[in-house]
Amino acid sequence: MINRITLTELFLQLLKKNIVPLSILPEIALFITNRKEFLRLTVQDEQFTEIQALFRDNNVSFSVKKIYSVYRGNTWYDIKFENQICDIDKEHIHYVRYLVCCTLGNNDPNTVLKAEEEGRIDDAGSLLGYPKCCINAIDELNNSGLKWPLLLMQKTKDQPNSYVNRLASVWGGTSFTGELFPCSLNCKNAIELGKSAEAALWELGLNRLAREIQYLSQRPIVVNKVNGNVQPLNETTINDLNLELQVPVFFK
Ligand SMILES: [Zn+2]
């Protein structure tokens, strides 16, 4: 089996070449340290050949499906498989990408993609190691469209936790739960997953990247109460802050 150092180098290469975003790094760390059986990546059309060659050369077993990203606004996309695209969607296709699922074990990575294609989100989510409470909440979040940040805030009863700061991704930051859509901004199960990812990053010696993710996840933000628009709270936004319309959010 491919050793951990080579594997870490392989994925860091993907990060350096911008083939994968920083937000997926916590999941990569969980995957390399065997805390996660399957890793699912979205790869741009033109970079697929490169990733395919890298995985083949390094004996990483993977499966692939072409997907279409249909833009609905405010960083929210509907991800659709080829057979799910209807006529209205065709006008809003933002990009075509490849959905790649890989594994280091003996299980078939296609089971994840097949579950997703068939709309069995619970199965796909649990194969990917996401908490059940968060998987169950995804439909509601999906249906809230552009206002998903507001719904996530409504569902957060206590102080938001930086480990599940999914809103950071809207302004270009990230958190230790990366691309997971949590059921709230302080979901206990998601916090646990985030802490596990942080430990995995440290275990791989990626301390500086872990600190960067921590910094990004702890930055306060401003959310627009009407449209759910998210911005980081900084010198510029604090001067224009309108409390009637905007709510500052702090993460512990
Ligand atoms: Zn949850």
Q: What would the pLDDT profile of 202-246 be if each residue is shown by its tens digit? A: 999 999 999 999 999 999 999 999 999 999 998 888 888 889 999
DSSP sequence for 55-93 = HHHTT-EEEEEEEEEEEEETTEEEEEEGGG--HHHHTTE
Mean pLDDT computed over 45-71 = 91
Residue 211 Cα to ligand 1 midpoint, Å, equals: 24
Residue 60 Cα to ligand 1 midpoint, Å, equals: 30
Where is 32: in which H helix or E strand? helix 25-32
Q: Percentage of the chain surpassing pLDDT 90?
A: 71
Whether residue 140 sits in one domain with residue 77: no
pLDDT at 74: 67
pLDDT at 203: 97
In a domain, 244, yes or no: yes
pLDDT band (50, 70, 90) for residue 183: very high
Mean pLDDT computed over 45-64 = 92
Q: Structural domain tally of the chain? A: 2
Which of 86, 107, 128 is a domain's end point? 128
pLDDT band (50, 70, 90) for residue 72: confident
pLDDT band (50, 70, 90) for residue 1: low
pLDDT at 128: 95
What's the rounded Cα separation, in Å, for the pair 81 and 54? Answer: 24
Residue 198 Cα to ligand 1 midpoint, Å, equals: 18
Domain range for 147: 130-252
- Average pLDDT, whole number, for the chain? 92
Residue 234 Cα to ligand 1 midpoint, Å, equals: 29
CA distances from 85 to 112, 118, 185 (A): 20, 14, 32
Mean pLDDT computed over 52-59 = 91
Residue 188 Cα to ligand 1 midpoint, Å, equals: 7
What's the rounded Cα separation, in Å, for the pair 203 and 208? Answer: 12
Mean pLDDT computed over 107-117 = 94
Burial class from Cβ neighbours inside 10 Å (0-12, 13-18, 19+) for residue 128 reads buried
Whether residue 239 sits in one domain with residue 202: yes
Residue 180 Cα to ligand 1 midpoint, Å, equals: 10
Neighbours of ion ligand 1 (CB under 5 A): 131, 133-134, 183, 187, 189-190
Structure confidence by residue, pLDDT tens digits, 187-209: 999 999 999 999 999 999 999 99
Mean pLDDT computed over 59-64 = 93
Q: Are 179 and 125 in contact (CB under 8 A)?
A: no
Structure confidence by residue, pLDDT tens digits, 135-176: 999 989 888 888 899 999 999 998 999 999 999 998 989 999
Residue 28 Cα to ligand 1 midpoint, Å, equals: 20
Whether residue 185 sits in one domain with residue 123: no
In a domain, 13, yes or no: no
Residue 129 Cα to ligand 1 midpoint, Å, equals: 12
Which of 93, 128, 163 is a domain's end point? 128
Q: Are 45 and 138 in contact (CB under 8 A)?
A: no
Mean pLDDT computed over 103-112 = 93
Whether residue 250 sits in one domain with residue 142: yes
What's the rounded Cα separation, in Å, for the pair 17 and 9? Answer: 12
Which tokens is 109 given? Answer: 């990575």
pLDDT at 247: 93
Whether residue 156 sits in one domain with residue 182: yes
In a domain, 1, yes or no: no
Which of 100, 128, 156 is a domain's end point? 128
The pTM assigned to this predicted structure is 0.89
